[in-house]
Amino acid sequence: MDKFEWYSRNGEQGSGTLSEAQLRNSDPDFDTWLGQQLQFSEPYLDDDGFCDGVMERLPAPTRRSDRRVTRTQYGAVVLASAIVAWQFPLDEVLAEAARQSISLYSLLGLGVLSSVAAMFGGIVAARR
Amino acid sequence: MDLNDGELIRRIVEDGDQRAYAQLVRRYQSQLRFSLRNLCDGDQALADDMAQEAFIKAYKALPAFRGDARFSTWLYRIAYNLVMSYRRKNAPEVDQEAVDRAQAQETVEEAQQLGMARDLDAALQELSEPQRQAIHLCMQRGFSHEEAASIMKLPLGTVKSHVNRARARLQTLLQAWREEVVSG
């Protein structure tokens, strides 16, 4: 017969009531022993597809990393544009435009449009 | 390489690294599923569903996790809330046949065949459910009384009382085993 059954039926505490003294009486050895027994009696549950099931149902990751990548891309495009603008022979173009009687406003408008198109294309290409 | 919970959480939140979360799931799945089986009266399928829900909910809420408590405490709190909420919505209608079938198929015979494990289980069944949960969290999982109180959503004093009463009751019920160990 299991020892538990005997104590459960015949033990002093068969009625289920405990005195205050018993409640206060903490036995560290018993605590350690009980902790060990509880852990010993616990099986390790194999993953058995559980983790995969969780991972499949997770939403797409929070895209903070993507936002960081996007900022980097914009930065690179701005930097490239600045280098192009720095190296661009604006004086010569303006002089040539004056010689050819091309309106300054139409030239500037064309330049701005070209820049916007180039930046947009660069960003789209970089994102891909 | 085994990274600690904090580092894994940082990678998940800042880099969206789902492999880091898989590592956390693998680390805690066995303990959480086992704990929830106790809480779901042995219904393994329900316990696993609840554990899965808890991991998913924890993942979604991870950016709001401030690290005031341990990740395991936080995860258990989510899981316990889910089970309690499920219980409130669904009257206790446990498919006992399914439970018995599942338990019969368990591969823990080695532990259960041992008289000690069987008696320990029987002794635990003598406790009230809150006492059993308090003992499980504090003595089996190693949570502090404060952590157990936050998981069970009970006042600290109540949890301490549950632990003390459960411990005293188990001490009486398992006295014979203790004496055997002490006397060698």
What is the number of other CB atoms lying within 10 angstroms of the CB of residue B119? 22
Distance CA(A39)–CA(B120), nearest Å, equals 11
* pLDDT of amino acid A16: 45
The class level of CATH for B107-184 reads: mainly alpha
User: Best of B29, B114, B132 to disrupt the A interface by mutation (most A CBs within 10 Å)?
Assistant: B29
Q: Do B16 and A61 touch (CB under 8 A)?
A: yes
Residue B2 has which token pair?
């085994």
pLDDT, tens digit (0-9, with 9 covering 90-100), for A90-127:
788 777 777 777 677 777 788 888 888 888 888 877 76
Chain A residues close to B116, C-beta within 8 Å: 37, 41
Query: Which stretches of chain A are DSSP H helices?
Result: 3-10, 20-24, 28-40, 50-57, 64-87, 90-99, 104-127
Distance CA(B38)–CA(B33), nearest Å, equals 9
pLDDT, tens digit (0-9, with 9 covering 90-100), for B115-134:
677 788 888 989 999 999 99
Q: With the CA atoms of B101, B105, B108 and B112 taken in that order, what torsion angle do they form, in degrees rounded to the nearest 10?
A: 50
**A29-33, A78-82, A115-119, B176-180: which range is least confident on average?**
B176-180
Query: Is residue A61 within 8 angstroms of chain B, CB to CB?
Result: yes
Domains B1-106 and B107-184 share a fold: no
Q: Which CATH architecture has domain B1-106?
A: Orthogonal Bundle (1.10)
Q: Distance, in angstroms, between B108 CA and closest chain A CA?
A: 6
Query: Is residue B56 within 8 angstroms of chain A, CB to CB?
Result: yes
* pLDDT of amino acid A37: 83
| DSSP H/E element including B18 | helix B18-39
Residue B135 has which token pair?
């003992």
- CA dist A11 → A4, A18, B21, B157, B170 (Å): 9, 12, 49, 28, 12
pLDDT confidence band for A68 (50 / 70 / 90): low
What is the number of other CB atoms lying within 10 angstroms of the CB of residue A21? 8
pLDDT above 90: residue B110 = no
Residues 6+ apart with CB under 8 A from B173: A4, A7, A8, A11, A13, B119, B123, B126
Distance CA(B147)–CA(B156), nearest Å, equals 9
What residues 17-46 of chain A have any CB closer than 8 A to a CB of chain B? Answer: 18, 22-27, 30-31, 33-35, 37-46
Asked if residue B118 lies in contact with residue B153, where contact means CB atoms within 8 angstroms, the answer is: no
Asked if residue B171 lies in contact with residue A37, where contact means CB atoms within 8 angstroms, the answer is: no
Domain ranges, ordered by start, for chain B = 1-106, 107-184
Asked if residue A120 lies in contact with residue A74, where contact means CB atoms within 8 angstroms, the answer is: no
Q: What is the DSSP string of B47-116?
A: HHHHHHHHHHHHHHHGGG--SSS-HHHHHHHHHHHHHHHHHHHS-S---HHHHHHHHHT-S-HHHHHSHH
| CA closest to B114 among chain A residues | A41
Q: How large is the average pLDDT for residues A48-69?
A: 79
